[in-house]
Structure 1
Amino acid sequence: MTAVLKVENLVKTFGGVKAVAGVSFEVAPGELKALIGPNGAGKSTCFNMLMGQLKPTSGKVYLNGENITGRPPRDIWRRGVGRTFQITGTYQSMTVAENVQMALMSHHRKLFAVRPYAYKLYRDEALALLDVVGMADQADRACAILAYGDLKRLELAIALANEPTLLLMDEPTAGMAPRERINLMQLTADIVRDRGVSVLFTEHDMDVVFAHAHHIMVLNRGELIADGTASEVRNNPQVQEVYLGGGTLYEQETADA
């Protein structure tokens, strides 16, 4: 089975600093995979190369077997990669539904077709996506008055507008309350199961990672030092040294569920 995402020896240097140093991995169809590591490990740099915001110094990125290395973000998005960001970026003056409609208009190449009835375009599709993330009842609310957790769910609906086969989520639970974090990642896991979307996400909350990720990768100083199941990563001596100075990563009862 062809990997949805395949990364081969990805490198990014800034002057004499090697931010990402020969990283290789795959994300399988329907897989929820985490990329973790301490601050400065290279996670965001890696994500930005996958989505085209940064061009790799060397290495290859394949999406469903196609080489997408160095392509601009719009091309990658049109090939079926969605992304959410650590800091949400919705249109605050628009309603919840209108934000999703904008993404749908872009997906259907209607974004620059200025028409007086544009507000009606893809309204039903937008409501369907909002229903997926539990936001349909807030469709006509202005984004400016939404709670932060609701903005994160809205961003997820927007990321699904281009019918992605791969979803990149950069710190999806950053700034959220503990209960909101659990709910958002459970929602993501449900989308993986129901829609067959592959997800690669970065995260600092280890409870979230161990509870939901099928497999976990660990970056440290730009190098991939571990790639395995939650149990394999938790018991990896090098990972323990990076995170806890040789201690043992916390093991919860549901970690391998």
Structure 2
Amino acid sequence: MTASQTAAVPLLETRNLTIKFGGITAADDVSMTIEAGRNLAIIGPNGAGKTTFLNICTGWIKPKSGQVLFEGRDITPLPPRKIVARGVARAFQIPQLFTEHTALENLLIAVSAREGLRNPLRPMHRIRQRDEMMALLEMVNCADVADRLVVELSEGQRKLIDIAVALALKPRLLLMDEPTSGVASSQKHEVMEILIAALAKARVTSVFVEHDMGIVSRHADEVAVWNTGRVQLRGTPAQILAHPDVIRDVIGEEIA
């Protein structure tokens, strides 16, 4: 493959993804590309297939037909852990954290998995990557709660620590399901600004499902509209959020 051909390969590409659950088509011949360095928001009504798309791309669900390619390589048959090792990480709607451990310990567990450091005789805090994990907590403005138990933290802090855990795996693409869900309205934009800045600093491309159109308008570079298992529209936030079909089917009113 030549250098020009390599440059043309999308970071992620799906080809003709199809899957049905009973009589519901969650992915209907979905083909799309995701380019590096962009933040793509996925919006759409409930049941449109948004989360199913993330699950297929990260190996949690296998499509009936179609392919998922990451950097030009087919990852469709791989299990989630091998997809993570390839460079695709996932953050769920509910943060997947060990709440009985501290924020820093959650990151140390992640880096132990990344590096294969499974030595029960070595205390986690002696792992040489400890400073690297503290830098990630600093990146998401959570260094001050490094030694606090996760169960004691706010939902916004948990979301940011969950993202730091994902970044500890050194992904090139991060797929997020409603990153501001459960966060107080007054904190949503602050949390998202910290998150987007951390992704930019780490040079990680993102795809995120979101229902808050204010978040989409301010923080997405592109928007894809899902409806009945298909990508109905795709464009800039300004183009998509002003589209009559999106206002009718997704938003219900224009964004101020």
Does the TM-score normalized on the shorter chain lie above 0.5?
A: yes
Higher helix proportion (structure 1 or 2)? 2
Structure 1 residue 85 and structure 2 residue 92: aligned? yes
Amino acid corresponding to residue 207 of structure 1 in structure 2: G
Q: How far apart in 2 are the matches of 1:162 and 1:223?
A: 31
Aligned length: 248
Equivalent residue, structure 2, for 1:33: 40
Matched residue, 2:3:
none
Matched, 1:161 2:168: yes
Matches of 2:125 and 2:203, distance apart in 1: 30
Structure 1 residue ranges without an equivalent (≥5) = 253-257
State how 1:1-257 maps to structure 2 within 5 Å: 1=7, 2-110=9-117, 112-121=118-127, 122-243=129-250, 249-250=254-255, 252=256
Cα deviation, residue 158, structure 1 = 0.2
Query: Cα RMSD over matched residues?
Result: 1.5
CA distance in 2, matches of 1:42, 1:61: 16
* Alpha-carbon shift at residue 172 of structure 1 (Å): 0.4
Mark the runs of 5 or more structure 2 residues left unpaired by the alignment: 1-6
Amino acid at match of 2:56: M
Deviations 1:172-217 (A, max 9, x none): 0001112321012112321343232100000000000011100000
1: CA distance, partners of 2:251 / 2:70: 35
Distance 1:178 1:54 in 2: 32
Please say if residues 30 and 192 of structure 1, whose CA atoms lie closer than 8 Å, have aligned partners that are also in contact: no
**Aligned mates of 2:251, 2:138 — CA distance in 1:** 41
Q: Deviations over 1:140-161 (max 9, x none)?
A: 1111111111111110100101
Length-normalised TM-score, structure 2: 0.92
Provide the rounded CA distance (Å) in 2 between the counterparts of 1:128 and 1:154. Answer: 12
Cα offsets for 1:100-124 (capped at 9, x unmatched): 00000001111x3222323321221
Identity of aligned residues (%): 38
* Misfit runs of 4+, over 3 Å: none
Query: Aligned partners of 1:191 and 1:23: how far apart in 2?
Result: 30
Which residue does the alignment assign to 1:255? none
CA distance in 2, matches of 1:23, 1:68: 16
Question: If the length of structure 1 is used for normalisation, what is the TM-score?
Answer: 0.92
- Give per-residue Cα distances to partners, 1:37-69, cap 9 Å, x unaligned: 111111111111011000011111111111101
